[in-house]
Structure 1
Amino acid sequence: MHRRWTSLAGIVVTALLTLFLVIPVLLSVYAGLTVSYARGMSAGFTLDWVRQVWELYSETVWRSLAVALLTLMLTLLIGVPGAYALVRRGGRFARVVEEIVTLPVAVPGLALALALILSYGNLGIFRQSTLFVVVGHVLFTLPFMMRAVIAVLETIDWRTLDEGAASLGAPAWRRFIDVILPNVRPGVVAGALTVLTLSIGEFNLTWMLHTPMTKTLPVGLADAYASMRLEIASAYTLVFLIMIIPLLIGIQLVAGLTEKRMTS
């Protein structure tokens, strides 16, 4: 009986916490669809605010997607081989390198952005390009990709697999592509999910690095909150949700299919 009440209390607390988190999002969506939030439902509903947001800020949506995809591509190219190299090397040196790579996570985004500006701010074309924002996102998200892959590598007997492929005459690059990558796929998918979500939603770092020509969706969202009426700012939130939710669901489906293939 006591266990039953404990379970029921846990469900109630979880439901209340979920409502506490979800209600603000629902109210924001509601505000973006009403003719006048102050007048409430009596004013009716409209998609005009969403249309205005798209006309004003559509380029920030596409730029955010481009930045996130470029960030993902670079973290895959750098993070997956880098994680394998650190695990393969092992020892104190590998741990030191891993800690250095993880530093951007501990450093505030504004401080990391300031360091990039001080280092490369004089490179005019680079400083004013979207690639400058991408570099900041890569530095910020790379540790999450590497940690996800390292975690998987530490749970499998990769050394035996690698040595078996080497005994058959496979060169190092072939062993990495044909043996290591298929076995760390769950970590790669988990890292990709984290990198995409962090990149699309990153504000502090991007706010410091962006220029008027390289504004991303979160920065545009902040501008809308500061300078537009409430309904337009809330409609911008709705556009953000429409963009991010299908992307997250798609990645989760890919992760589920990957896990099923690995266990079958």
Structure 2
Amino acid sequence: MAASVELLTTPSGTPAGTGDARARGAGRLGHGKRTRPAGRVHVPGIVVLVLAMVLFFTPLIASAIFGFTLPGIGLTFESLSQAFANPMAVQAVTMTVVLGLLTTAASLALLVPTIVYLHLKAPRAAKLAEALSVIPIVVPAVALVAGAGVFFRAVAPGFLVSPYALVPFYVIITMPLVYRALDAGLTALHLRTLFAAAASLGASPWRTLIGIVLPNMRAALLSAGLLCMAMVLGEFALASLLLQYTFPVFLVETGAAAPRGAAALSFVTMLATWGLLALISLISAAGNRRRRTPAAAPSVTSTAKEQP
């Protein structure tokens, strides 16, 4: 015996309550918010973006025009050649690049094992370490040099005379940026799973770190290296206080004698930094595409041939 069900209908002929239910369902799905049409342009956002680009590029363009032009001559590289006519220019650039490479190597050697250990063994202490890594931002360079000078005069009096004495100071001032770049790269990895799988295959922790973890955080390592080089290229206070002749010190001296040459050098340095950033982005994108490309599956014919 079939049971019949009567539905109450509205005067328009639709089942009663259907419209209310649909309205409630639409309210739940959309949460009562109106969506912006796909083709609509967000004018305030575009205005803010244009203003930000104007404020950012205007000083750079003005610096390039001032550095690479001369009254009555126009575009010329004479100011740049005059700046590099200084016999100390090549020495300053070479020393700065060497200090940047040493700072990058020291920072990575110090922070990569430390952050890996914190993620694996002491995840609660990782928050404390992240907070402590910000301290170099609030410590002035004068206070850092004064405190370190007292220590090194008692332990190694001749250390501060060497230009390589800047490396530990650079490691300290770059720590906040390098720590966050490496921490972001390691957070994206499943470290516990990687180390557990490698240990089950007989790999030691150091072999796992060098052979598995480091290749998977290539982008983070390149970002940390770029940050170190950028900081070393622009750091003037520490080198000046320790009486070392680096590229920022050379740039300031050039600005006092030849301001157009200093402006041209600043613009070239900015372009070099952007070039490094673009190169790192390309390398990182190529690595990501290579990892996302699936391996080719064996064909049915080849599989059948291999069977006896």
Q: What TM-score, normalized by structure 2, do the two folds share? A: 0.73
Residue 112, structure 1, aligned to residue 141, structure 2: no
CA-to-partner distance for each residue in 1:194-247, whole Å, 9 max, x for gaps? Answer: 2222222223333323x2xx322222222233x214323223323423543333
Aligned counterpart, 1:44: 74
Structure 1 gap segments, 5+ residues each: 37-41
Aligned counterpart, 1:180: 213
State the shift of 1:262 in Å. Answer: 3.7
After superposition, residues 34-183 of structure 1 pair within 5 angstroms as: 34-36=69-71, 42-56=72-86, 57-121=89-153, 123-183=156-216
C-alpha separation between the residues in 2 aligned to 1:254 and 1:121?
44
State the shift of 1:91 in Å. Answer: 4.9
AA in 1 matched with 2:161: Q
Query: Which has more helix, going by share of residues?
Result: 1
**Cα gap change, 1:260 to 1:207, in 2 (>3 Å):** farther
2:63 to 23, 28, 36: 28
C-alpha separation between the residues in 2 aligned to 1:170 and 1:186?
24
C-alpha separation between the residues in 2 aligned to 1:34 and 1:110?
37
Q: Please say if residues 110 and 208 of structure 1, whose CA atoms lie closer than 8 Å, have aligned partners that are also in contact.
A: yes
State the shift of 1:95 in Å. Answer: 4.3
Q: Please say if residues 68 and 260 of structure 2, whose CA atoms lie closer than 8 Å, have aligned partners that are also in contact.
A: yes
State the shift of 1:94 in Å. Answer: 4.8
Aligned counterpart, 1:245: 274
- The structure with the larger Rg is 2
Aligned counterpart, 1:263: 292
Secondary structure of the corresponding residue to residue 55 of structure 1: coil
AA in 2 matched with 1:216: T
Which sits farther off after the overlay, 109-118 or 51-60?
A: 109-118
Q: Please say if residues 96 and 233 of structure 2, whose CA atoms lie closer than 8 Å, have aligned partners that are also in contact.
A: yes
CA-to-partner distance for each residue in 1:122-146, whole Å, 9 max, x for gaps? Answer: 6454212221112211111134323
1:222 to 252, 265, 269: 252
State the shift of 1:163 in Å. Answer: 0.9
1:234 to 244, 247, 263: 263
Q: Please say if residues 254 and 261 of structure 2, whose CA atoms lie closer than 8 Å, have aligned partners that are also in contact.
A: yes
Q: Please say if residues 60 and 216 of structure 1, whose CA atoms lie closer than 8 Å, have aligned partners that are also in contact.
A: yes
**Cα gap change, 1:183 to 1:239, in 2 (>3 Å):** closer
Structure 2 gap segments, 5+ residues each: 1-35, 294-308
C-alpha separation between the residues in 1 aligned to 2:257 and 2:40?
49
Secondary structure of the corresponding residue to residue 70 of structure 2: coil
Which sits farther off after the overlay, 155-164 or 247-256?
A: 247-256
**Cα gap change, 1:14 to 1:81, in 2 (>3 Å):** same
**Cα gap change, 1:115 to 1:194, in 2 (>3 Å):** same
Q: Please say if residues 67 and 199 of structure 1, whose CA atoms lie closer than 8 Å, have aligned partners that are also in contact.
A: yes
Q: What TM-score, normalized by structure 1, do the two folds share? A: 0.83
Q: Please say if residues 120 and 191 of structure 2, whose CA atoms lie closer than 8 Å, have aligned partners that are also in contact.
A: no
C-alpha separation between the residues in 1 aligned to 2:120 and 2:146?
34
Aligned counterpart, 2:301: none
Runs of 4+ in 1 over 6 A off after TM superposition: 2-5
**Structure 1 vs Structure 2 CA RMSD:** 2.6
State the shift of 1:153 in Å. Answer: 2.6
**Cα gap change, 1:152 to 1:232, in 2 (>3 Å):** closer
AA in 1 matched with 2:249: V
C-alpha separation between the residues in 1 aligned to 2:48 and 2:129?
42
